């Protein structure tokens, strides 16, 4: 059954998942995180400053690694090159696919991170909300060259506003 500490009806999903991932990566004991959680709770700091102070990590890197871990955790056949591309205390994909957690009695219908695959050119327009990410599988064509990835502000190729601080994580899957 789904962990009570991050039960969807009692939390804000992404925030809870991110804190769980931070504890998994930076606490000596990943089950309770008893060495890290006081650093997060017993401080006047909040948000990014709190996470950075407690972990010594680089927040932008952590967000990218967490987003990748959300997709790659428990992915059959994927061997991460970094332990940060998985959860240590959860089997993220297993939680969603566990029959006990499936609707109508459980909170889930399916694994929520559905990637879109593309061979060749791919364009997507839309809004990406804070705390979210898009997962794409880019498949090079047969005997094709490298893949050129551009993140731009619009279909005309206008540069993003520098204040947006776009983050991109790439992992190779064979």
Question: With contact defined as beta carbons under 8 Å apart, do 26 and 55 qualify?
Answer: yes
The CA-atom distances, in angstroms, between 101 and each of 8, 30, 72, 98, 111 are: 11, 23, 20, 5, 11
Question: With contact defined as beta carbons under 8 Å apart, do 108 and 102 qualify?
Answer: yes
Q: What is the mean pLDDT of the chain?
A: 81
The CA-atom distances, in angstroms, between 58 and each of 17, 45, 173 are: 18, 16, 25
Reported pTM: 0.78
Summarize pLDDT for 104-124 with one digit per residue, the tens.
Answer: 777 777 777 777 777 766 677
Residue 19, pLDDT above cutoff 50: yes
On the question of a cis peptide bond just before residue 144, with omega within 30 degrees of 0, the verdict is no
Summarize pLDDT for 25-53 with one digit per residue, the tens.
Answer: 999 987 778 899 999 999 999 999 999 99
Summarize pLDDT for 7-18 with one digit per residue, the tens.
Answer: 544 446 778 889
């Amino acid at each position: 059954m789904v962990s009570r500490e991050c039960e969807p009806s009692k939390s804000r999903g992404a925030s809870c998942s991110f804190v769980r991932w931070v504890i998994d990566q930076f606490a000596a004991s990943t089950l309770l995180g008893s060495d890290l959680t006081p650093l997060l709770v017993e401080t006047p700091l909040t948000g990014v400053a709190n996470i950075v102070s407690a972990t010594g990590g680089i927040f932008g890197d952590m967000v990218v690694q967490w987003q990748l871990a959300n997709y790659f955790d428990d992915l059959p056949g994927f061997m991460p090159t970094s332990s940060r591309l998985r959860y240590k205390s959860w089997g993220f994909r297993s939680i969603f696919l566990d029959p006990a957690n499936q609707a109508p009695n459980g909170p889930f219908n399916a694994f929520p991170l559905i990637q879109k695959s593309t061979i060749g050119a791919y364009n997507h327009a839309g809004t990406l909300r804070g705390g979210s990410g898009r997962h794409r599988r880019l498949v090079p064509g047969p005997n094709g060259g490298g893949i050129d990835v551009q993140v731009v502000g619009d279909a005309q190729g206008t540069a993003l506003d520098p204040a947006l601080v776009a983050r991109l994580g790439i992992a190779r899957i064979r």
